[in-house]
Structure 1
Amino acid sequence: MKLKYFVKNSLLRPWDGIIVLLLILLSFAPIVVFSINRVNEAPTQQAVLSVDGKEIKSFDLNDEKQSYTYRYTDPDGDYNLIEIKGTKIRIKEANCGDQICVRRGWIDQSGETIVCLPHKLLIEVKASDGGETGSVIY
């Protein structure tokens, strides 16, 4: 008896529940669209090392078997030891005071960056064609 009374006197109509359910399902549509887009893209990426806005070196991040380190030393003697392993890159060691660049860890997605502010150093992962083909979806 209470259910009939509630249904009769409520502001909700029978189609309201269906519309709410449909809206909830449609809210997940961007996740589906972007994940399909990410699967179809070829991950050709490179990491670009720039210091004080000038590009110094680029590293190819397409070879799964590669593993090496690169040491950048500026004229003042400050250094950053950059490690490339497979399709990932990180700053392994630096003689800056805060060590934020070292704690940043590995990056491998287009658009991700590592910044060492005391040395004015920036490492950014980019798609080889300059686009955002390897964008990560959070």
Structure 2
Amino acid sequence: MTEAHVNADQKVAIISINGHVKRRVKLDAHSGHQQFTLYPAKGQYNVIEVDGTRIRDKEDNSPDQIAVHTGWISQIGQQSICLPHKLLIEIKPAQGSKGTSGDDGGLVHP
């Protein structure tokens, strides 16, 4: 099996605030569980939860709670958006997600 074939099913969650990537999280069965909080602006917060191959905005203090109600996302192409906080979580293929410097693009490996 070639490396390209092995990587074809790997996914990464890219979390952006106001168009700027803040974090990349590898999503796979070996990733385990993690939770972290992002602060998009003064007085705003989003609690992000990762559980293996899926991710969600578990809690935030936005007025509409759309990202929270979106729940878990796990498939390439899915997105969760918190518009008041300008926060976007999107799932993309891990292959080709390297940064321009040739590093792993800031992937978080639990």
TM class by shorter-chain length? 0.7 to 0.9
Q: Does 1:127 align with 2:79?
A: no
The residue type paired with residue 55 of structure 2 is I
Q: Whose strand proportion is higher, 1 or 2?
A: 2
Q: Does 1:80 align with 2:41?
A: no
Runs of 4+ in 1 over 3 A off after TM superposition: none
* Identity of matched residues, %: 41
What is the aligned partner in structure 2 of residue 99 from structure 1?
65
Q: RMSD between aligned alpha carbons? A: 1.9
Q: Residue 123 of structure 1: CA displacement?
A: 0.3
The residue type paired with residue 18 of structure 2 is D
What is the aligned partner in structure 1 of residue 23 from structure 2?
57
Q: Whose helix proportion is higher, 1 or 2?
A: 1
What is the aligned partner in structure 2 of residue 114 from structure 1?
80
Larger-gyration structure (1/2): 1
Compute the TM-score of the two structures, normalised by the length of structure 2: 0.77
Q: Residue 80 of structure 1: CA displacement?
A: 0.2
Deviations 1:108-127 (CA, angstroms, capped at 9, x unpaired)? 11010000000000000000
- 2:10 pairs with 44, 52, 62, which one? 44
What is the aligned partner in structure 2 of residue 69 from structure 1?
35
Classify the secondary structure of the residue corresponding to 1:76: coil
Give the 3 Å change call, closer, same or farther, for CA 101–95 of structure 1 in structure 2.
Answer: same
Gaps of 5+ in 1: 1-40, 132-138
> How many residue pairs are counted as aligned between the two chains?
92
Higher relative contact order (CA 8 A, sep 6+): 2
Q: Residue 129 of structure 1: CA displacement?
A: 1.9
The separation in 1 between residues aligned to 2:77 and 2:43, in whole angstroms, is: 29
Report if the CA contact (8 A) 2:75-2:91 is conserved. yes
